[in-house]
Amino acid sequence: MQIRRIRSLAILCTVLFTGFASTVTAEGIPEFTLAEPKGAKVDSILASVNGTPISLTDVLYESGRDEARLYAVYSGKNIYKKVEAMRKKFLEQIIARKLILFEYNDKKPFEVPRQYVETLLDDLAVSFGCTNREELSEKAKASGTSLADLKKKAKEKVTLQLMISSYIYSHVNLTPREIYEYYEKNKKEFSTPAAIRLQLMLLPKKRKKLKKLTTALKSELKSGSKKIFSSMTRLYSSGPNAIEGGDLGWIELEQLRPEFSKAVKGVQCGKVAGPITTDEGVYFLRIESRREAETTSFNKLVPVIKKRIEDKRRKAAYDKYIKDLRKYAIIRYYI
The CATH number linked to 209 is: 3.10.50.40
Is residue 19 located within the same domain as residue 155?
yes
Q: Say if residue 37 is preceded by a cis peptide, omega within 30 of 0.
A: no
278 and 203 part of one domain: yes
Tens of pLDDT along 209-259?
899 999 999 999 989 999 999 999 999 998 888 888 899 889 988 889 889
What CA–CA distance (Å, rounded) separates 63 from 72? 15
Residue 2's pLDDT band, with cuts at 50, 70 and 90, is very low
In this model, does residue 328 exceed pLDDT 80? yes
Average pLDDT of span 49-77 = 86
Shared domain check, 99 and 160: yes
38 and 150 both lie in a single domain: yes
In a domain, 302, yes or no: no
Q: Do 319 and 281 reside in the same domain of the chain?
A: no
Q: Is the domain of 277 the same as that of 319?
A: no
Q: How far apart are CA 32 and CA 45, in angstroms?
A: 12
Residues 300, 301, 302, 304, CA torsion sign: positive
pLDDT digits (tens, 9 = 90+) for 117-167: 999 999 888 888 888 889 988 888 888 888 999 999 899 999 998 998 887
Question: In 2-75, where does DSSP find H-type helix?
Answer: 2-17, 56-70
Do 271 and 237 reside in the same domain of the chain? yes
Mean pLDDT of 78-99: 92
CA distances from 97 to 123, 159, 241, 250 (A): 22, 10, 56, 49
Inside any domain, residue 188 = no
pLDDT at 44 over 60: yes
> Cβ atoms within 10 A of the Cβ of 149, count?
14
Q: How many domains does the chain have?
A: 2
Query: Which range (134-138, 156-160, 170-174, 323-327) has the least confidence?
Result: 170-174
> Quick one: 136 and 232 in the same domain?
no
Residues 120 and 265 in one domain: no
Tell me if 298 is assigned to some domain: no
When pLDDT is cut at 50, 70 and 90, the band that residue 20 belongs to is very low
My answer on whether 134 and 210 are in the same domain is no
Residue 201 in any domain: the answer is: yes
3-state class (DSSP) for residue 87: helix
Beta bridge partners of 273: 285
**Residues 152, 121 share a domain:** yes
State the residue range of the domain holding 245: 194-292
